[in-house]
Amino acid sequence: MNSETPDLPEEESGLEQIQEKEAPKPTETQEKLSEDEKKQIEMEEDFIGKPLIVHTEWQDVHFSFPAPKIRFGKGVSRDLPHAIFELLDPMLPYIHKADIAQPKAMIVIGESSIKTSGALDGILEACKNNAIETMVYSIGKGEANVDMVDEGVQLALDEKPHYIVGIGGGSVLDVAKAIAGIARNGGLAEEYHEGKPFEVPGLPFIAIPTTAGTGSEITNNAVLIDKTQNFKKSIRGNQIIAKYILLDPELTLSCPPDVTAHSGVDALVQAIEAYTSRKSHPIADIYAMQAIMLIAPNLRYVVEHGQDYAARSEMMLGSFFAGVAFSNVGLGLVHGLAHPIGYKYDIPHGKICGALLPWVIEYNTEKSAQKYVKIARVIGQLDLFTKFEPECNDSENGRRLAGMIKEVFSQVQIPLRLQDLGILKEDFDWIAENTKGGSVNTNPRIPTKEDLLDLLEKAW
């Protein structure tokens, strides 16, 4: 995702290029059918006949698709030594000129359950058994901030690890990613907020997520709060992308229900926003849609059955696929609004995103109707929600999708009104003023300040 995303002209969204199909004339046989039979046929035709790929302008889309090494499966986090040795040779030129006879890894963690579950001990033990030295840096509780990064960078400069390993949720991975970049490039986190670029590759960063939600393991940015400067924003660069990702669903088994719900909702929102991004492209669409298909049917179940490994696996894959999609094509207005709200209020990010998504879908529906219909249809195929209604026009089906989303989010106790999150109307002006950046620019519809105030009012 690039915060410098240009404001694309309307015609580049491709949505205007779609030609409405002329309705087929009824055959003699169809005229003899009962109303119910006709309706059934219409429903099936509507389902079958609509183009599944609605973006008709792929030939004008340019994209590249970088991907780090990935391992997925039960217990792969304990294969960290493998990842370290695999990265050793190609990464040598970028590692400190220290004695590499014994690799050293700085393990960044948070207040996560991997300590109490024993998972961290298992990973440290595996490193010890493979003669890899480790040091643990705990960032404590709370959202990622510049102080956590600066403290970690100083530790890395003192201890000279060859690798930075982040094991945790989005905040931990973001801090670890930033430490890896800044330890090699120098300076303070706030300088990167101000635009200092990463000029050389960071220390090799290995990401091991313990929640299924943020997608931080795959992104090229770290979202950091700077309380002294009064903002929360990303530092970014391809030099800080993880070199290796270990996706171990076992680590998410101990994730509590509320965190499972918030992070799962975030992942679903990210998948939907990537799918409808103005920068969407065919490969990202595949990942985004697969993410929706994995997350939507599992969300409620996994919150209620946290020990179900199969459901945890699908959520982890879905979250990762959403991350792959949005890290390539960006997000949308939900995330544009969630940033200032998240800075002003201490509310879990996924909760904010969940409360906003139905209202943003309604706002976008005129521009993204066909993609929304496709999402609704796919979700409907899974027999989770209300049936797709072919007699409604596309915009109405966008609104219908918003209704489906509200239903599924309410099942995992996500408030659907901003007032239920404790957000005050008096902050709307400030929120609207500070809703800007990459996520807004990739939203299907570019909002004016009045649009934002109107949307916030409706969502309240």
Binding site for Fe ion (CB under 5 A): 266
- As a whole number of angstroms, the longest Cα–Cα distance in the chain is 85
CA distance 115 to 89: 31
Output 84 or 291, the one with its CB closest to Fe ion: 291
Least distance (Å) from Fe ion to the CB of residue 352? 9
Question: 150-173 burial, b for 16+ CB within 10 Å, e for fewer?
Answer: bebbebbeeeebbbbbbbbbbbbb
| Tokens found for residue 276 | 């409808």
For residue 195, the minimal CB distance to Fe ion (Å) is 23
- The H-assigned helical ranges of 77-221 are 80-91, 119-129, 146-159, 170-185, 189-193
Residues 6 or more apart in contact with residue 230 via CB below 8 angstroms: none
Please state the closest distance from residue 327 (CB atom) to Fe ion, in A: 12
Element (H, E) at 222: strand 221-226
Please say which residue, 104 or 351, places its beta carbon nearer to Fe ion.
351
Give the H/E segment covering residue 280.
none
* SS3 (DSSP) at 208: strand
Closest separation in Å from C-beta 323 to Fe ion: 10
CB-based contact 272:115 (threshold 8 Å): no
Nearer to Fe ion, 219 or 280 (CB): 219
Give the residue with the Cβ less far from Fe ion, 91 or 272: 272
Nearest distance in Å: CB 174, Fe ion: 12
The first and second tokens of residue 92, run together, are 């040598």
Q: What Rg, from alpha-carbon coordinates, does the chain have?
A: 23
Nearest residue (CB) to Fe ion, 57 versus 258: 258
E strand or H helix at 166:
strand 163-168
In the complex, the smallest distance separating the C-beta of residue 353 from Fe ion, rounded to whole angstroms, is: 5
Contact 223, 233 (CB under 8 A): yes
Q: Minimum distance from CB of 197 to Fe ion (Å)? A: 24
For Fe ion, give the closer residue by CB, 119 or 353: 353
Residue nearest to Fe ion (CB): 266
Nearer to Fe ion, 317 or 331 (CB): 331
